[in-house]
Amino acid sequence: MITFAVETSCDETALAIYGDERGVIGDIILSQAVIHSPFGGVVPELSAREHTRNIVPLLDRLLKETNFDLKDIDFVSFTLTPGLILSLVVGVAFAKAIAYQYNKPLVPVHHLEGHIYSVFLEKKVDYPFLALVISGGHTDLYLVKNFGEYEFLGGTLDDAVGESYDKVAKMLGLGYPGGPIIDKLAREGKRLYELPKPLLNDGSLNFSFSGLKTAVFNLLTKKKNIKKEDVAFSFQETVIEILLKKTLKAIERTGVKRLVVVGGVSANSRLREVFKEASEKEGFELYIPSLHLSTDNALMIAYAGIERFKRGVVAPLDINPQPNIPLEEFGKIFS
């Protein structure tokens, strides 16, 4: 079974050809980081424009590199939700065009679902397991009971963790995207500043990062001769402590000792180090995808698409993208 997959939920244009037996046949990603860097974040209109400009040339390149004929696919997988609606429109329209051209079924995938199953591209995880999804747009905890069976445990009430990295990096004049820059800079710093940990002990599994971001702004405004390295280190350690403690609380409450950590922020080197140490100390299984599978990619959409197609789920050609269908609802709708 072979699928062609399309992912354009934010600022990466990604295409892949993947088979459940053959594995990766082709995979291509074009980042727009340079385009959005002057603005310190993703500009939706620019993102959609770049997807429109690049998606056909990317397909041509993918087919030339793989020498693959799209008539040999069994179906088309695509990201339906969530994401920037203008970006999603480009990808969904493209997926529908390919499906129509080759008379192939369409299979919708939830972007967060794709991230969760990115680990399965390297190693399958037994059910049930917990999923911590951390990216520029999401900070969520789920209990995954089976494919398509998701229970939302908690999420951010304001900024996503990746968004906070970007905003703090902008305050420090470090550029975009902020995550990799802060991660690298923090290695040279010390934890000299105690920053707030919102909702850490409120009893819930929710997150909040807006107060932490504001505290960094106030610190930079009021204090002089501050080293960027120390601010980066203090900020990052605080973020990781929040993420870890909330996740450990979820493990305690559910009794589930299998955890996948996915999304762009899962590429953070310090986070990987801290979570690995915690897994060894607390005795839970930890799964984090390789760096190339942590950020947005089409292979994760392909894998989730195959799992859905095996269950006989397809979408009509007139389906339209949605900016944000909750994952737990998506699993019920397309099951």
Pick from 28-42, 277-291, 318-332: least confident: 28-42
Q: Is the pLDDT of residue 271 over 90?
A: yes
For residue 222, the model assigns a pLDDT of 85
Q: Which amino acid is at 326?
A: P
Contacts of residue 235, Cβ cutoff 8 Å, sequence gap at least 6: 168, 182, 186, 195, 212, 216
Contact in structure between 114 and 304 (CB atoms under 8 Å): yes
**Going from the N-terminus, what domains does the chain have, and what CATH number goes with each?**
2-116+294-333 (3.30.420.40), 126-288 (3.30.420.40)
Phi-psi domain of 255 (left: phi exceeds 0; alpha: psi -120 through 50; beta: other): left
Q: What is the pLDDT of residues 291-305, one digit of tens each?
A: 999 999 999 999 999
Closest CA relative to residue 44, chosen from 73, 8, 70 = 8
Q: Poorest-confidence range of 42-46, 108-112, 113-117?
A: 42-46
Strands of the 258-262 sheet, one edge to the other: 149-155, 139-146, 129-134, 258-262, 285-287
Nearest to 2 by CA among 71, 60, 98, 84: 71
Confidence category of residue 237, pLDDT binned at 50, 70, 90:
very high
What is the pLDDT at residue 293? 96
As a 3-state breakdown, the chain gives helix, strand, coil percent values, each rounded to 5, of 50, 20, 30
User: 258 vs 130, 186, 200, 285, CA distance in Å?
Assistant: 6, 29, 22, 5
pLDDT in tens, 148-197: 999 999 999 999 999 999 999 999 999 889 999 999 999 999 998 999 99
pTM: 0.95
